Structure 1
């Protein structure tokens, strides 16, 4: 076995966890299945994540960080208009859905455990605040009201993502619908 630094080993384990998630779904992702997939001993996995809930949350955090970084980069490069900002947001959202379609199952697996659900809710609140800040220049709403609207828009995005993963729509159609909802909500009087 190659000896890796703690950070490198954690990255390797999270990469393997994503593979297990893709192959077996969230229910199949356990500390034991991860140890087997990564080719490491169980104590190594337990040392990094402690519990299955800790593993699921670590993977969710990594996916969230990746998505937010991609969105931030795209927003920085985008033309500063409400239409372009809405398009960038919707494109980034559905890129995450298509890149990691198992993220919905991972999110659902975090529900029901107070510790993981609270951490997931905090990450979701940070994401909501991020998109509200990006949309604030195009809205006369208070930031608190805009964040509430963004929560509603994310609910719509999740519903569209569900349609996409069921094969009932395309990425382009889902992205168009979400961008239209964002622009429509901000531009209506």
Structure 2
């Protein structure tokens, strides 16, 4: 199997292990066993358990970024369109990732390496959202990094609430859209 295809298979298997058995059950040895490969293959791809968890986290992030890019390019004609796309993509990514997304973040929360990864990913979202939203506001400078970081924090909270079934997906998307529009129209 080609290297990238094997990596994708290993990441999907790891997500299944987390979903069915929890993050504590996920080790490189367990991953290799479940994927039907030898341990050295799992170690070659990820190096450590933390490396595997970070790769999973990045995998979910890449899916979200791809969805946002595609939707924005296809249908964003107004600020309302762009905000609706960004809000829905953010919430949907967390929901599609399932409980393993939160479990992965929690498992790595004490890791300095994970903190760096999360910061890098957040900065990527700030850049993406700044480019996507600035073209629809009168003063593009108003779409500042601090504002976008705050909106991303709101997106995290609402997405996690929807994933925990404390609110519906539609409620989370609507609330996030309203927060974003309110902040961007001031």
Which residue number corresponds to residue 25 of structure 1?
A: 22
Q: Which segment is superposed worse, 107-116 or 83-92?
A: 107-116
Which residue number corresponds to residue 80 of structure 1?
A: 77
Q: Give the superposition deviation at 1:105.
A: 1.8
Whether 1:48 aligns to 2:24 is no
Which residue number corresponds to residue 148 of structure 2?
A: 150
Change (3 A) 1:177 1:54: same
The DSSP-based 3-state class of the residue aligned with 1:142 is helix
Whether 1:174 aligns to 2:172 is yes
Q: Does the aligned pair in 1 maintain the 2:162–2:172 contact within 8 Å?
A: yes
What are structure 2's unaligned runs of at least 5 residues? none
Q: Does the aligned pair in 2 maintain the 1:70–1:92 contact within 8 Å?
A: yes
CA deviation string 1:37-87 (max 9, x = no partner):
111121111111110011011111111111101110000111321111111
Question: Which of 130, 133, 139 in structure 1 is aligned with 2:131?
Answer: 133
Matches of 1:25 and 1:124 in 2, distance apart? 25
Instruction: Return structure 1 stretches of 4+ with deviation > 4 angstroms.
Output: none
CA deviation string 1:105-159 (max 9, x = no partner):
212222222223212321221112111211112332527x622111111111111
CA deviation string 1:76-106 (max 9, x = no partner):
1113211111111111111112111221221
Matches of 1:83 and 1:131 in 2, distance apart? 13
In the comparison of the two structures, how many residue pairs are matched?
Answer: 184
RMSD (CA atoms) = 1.6
TM score, norm. by length of structure 1: 0.90
What are structure 1's unaligned runs of at least 5 residues? none
